[in-house]
Chains A and B, each alone.
Chain A
């Protein structure tokens, strides 16, 4: 129903308030897919296991995807492998953080 790129675009509206970048440019979204019935699947991680906004961020991702027309359900798969590191982020993020 939606391509990975379309789902990524929707999730890019979710911003981490601590660093000020969206989850996609941070490299925290590993994969996304959606079947013809509108069931979306998002594979993602967080920059740290101890993130106190852990559940909120997942909720925001769900809400961002659910805003897309025809989406019935959103499954979030929160994984810790591969472990996130800064090399997974976009160049603009690396540049800004490295400042």
Chain B
């Protein structure tokens, strides 16, 4: 008999703050969009930097960290080194994110302090993951991906802190030299490789896919990891050629990854296109759009293409991958905590019963429309279209928040 132990599930009260706060940061990021003007948008605009940190740290990282608290024991088949440490992560990450957002916006002196608070939160997370991985006896592709992504995160946040100190004028450092490394280490090295690794576990599990090859994922993860290293080497050595090698490798790796996802989709037994499936289809469509736009930018140098590419990967790929999975992970956690002890004693709901069908559907439709309309606004440089897209997203983000609270507070009238 093979033993696959999952008796290390952390309590829901530990994980729920990550999801609630993450959803609130998503809403805040969407509200932020109303204060942008398309005319002067630039990647290094302080408003953009504030917005990006609010979205990536507050929503993306916060939600991923919460999900990892639950998924790590399942994937690694060992208990957490110190799951209680997660109680410290969300308050620190939340406070640090707000300080950094304000720091970029109008109080640069807040940046190093916010940066240090975020650094502490992330170091706790990274060290906890490393020490948990240390307990693993046999490595597989998913565990390797978690290890690689966390190593990239470790270096990414160190680079980020040095930049924050430089930005506040506390140390003298060439921020632009470190910027590309920081961006690639955190966004590609951590977020994307984490999503890639977890997709091997989550997508076949929810879609009941079998009989697909893992080889494309292995190839794509290797290529994407090499791309991060190339950009980092270029950033530190000043060899511009390596930077373009990195971009090309990243695009290539992600195209191979997309092919892998297609094979999972093709071999799934569960054909139902529910809000989870719709969200992921939109997410991967956004990923491909982003790659095409990014490559177009490399060829043309037209900056709106780059902005739109980044937009599609952030609010299309990242956001929909996360929101889609929230409709699976949150009901499961609530069910596990609240209803699993009642199995065999009383009638209990199915996980699908715990989904707020209308608000989930509204979230998907309005957010998808919002993402596409904002993308059009960025390409067309149209102020009115941008506000229209932001309005769609606002309705979608409110519907998402409602869905999260509905699922977390789900109670069944047991007869």
Assess the A54–B210 pair: CB atoms within 8 A: no
Set of chain B residues within 8 Å of A49, measured between Cβ atoms: 4
Give complex CA distance A75, B335 in Å.
Answer: 27
**Minimum CB distance partner of A80 in chain B:** B2
Assess the A84–B271 pair: CB atoms within 8 A: no
Per DSSP, chain A at the interface is: loop
Per DSSP, chain B at the interface is: loop
Give complex CA distance A53, B341 in Å.
Answer: 12
Q: Which of A47, A56, A76 interacts with B208 by CB under 8 Å?
A: A47
Assess the B336–A48 pair: CB atoms within 8 A: no
Give complex CA distance A63, B343 in Å.
Answer: 10
Assess the B208–A55 pair: CB atoms within 8 A: no
Contact with A along B256-291 (1 / 0, CB 8 A): 000000000000011110000000000000000000
B351 within 8 A of A: yes
B248 within 8 A of A: no
Assess the A85–B1 pair: CB atoms within 8 A: no
A78 within 8 A of B: yes
Assess the B340–A48 pair: CB atoms within 8 A: no
Assess the A97–B271 pair: CB atoms within 8 A: yes
B298 within 8 A of A: no
Give complex CA distance A56, B9 in Å.
Answer: 12
Bin chain B's interface residue count.
20 to 34
Q: Which of B7, B205, B210, B352 interacts with A84 by CB under 8 Å?
A: B210
Q: Please count the residue pairs between chain A and chain B whose beta carbons lie under 8 angstroms apart in the complex.
A: 79
A77 within 8 A of B: yes
Set of chain B residues within 8 Å of A54, measured between Cβ atoms: 4-6
Contact with B along A63-88 (1 / 0, CB 8 A): 11000000000001111100111100
Assess the B210–A18 pair: CB atoms within 8 A: no
Q: Which of B7, B206, B270, B339 interacts with A55 by CB under 8 Å?
A: B7
Contact with A along B4-16 (1 / 0, CB 8 A): 1111010000000
**Minimum CB distance partner of A64 in chain B:** B344
Assess the A18–B340 pair: CB atoms within 8 A: no
Give complex CA distance A32, B205 in Å.
Answer: 26
Give 29 pairs: A residue, B residue, CB < 8 Å, sorted on A.
Answer: A17-B349, A17-B350, A18-B206, A18-B350, A18-B351, A19-B208, A20-B350, A20-B352, A48-B204, A49-B4, A50-B74, A50-B75, A53-B336, A54-B5, A56-B336, A56-B340, A56-B343, A76-B1, A78-B2, A78-B3, A79-B1, A84-B210, A85-B210, A85-B269, A86-B208, A86-B210, A94-B269, A97-B269, A98-B269
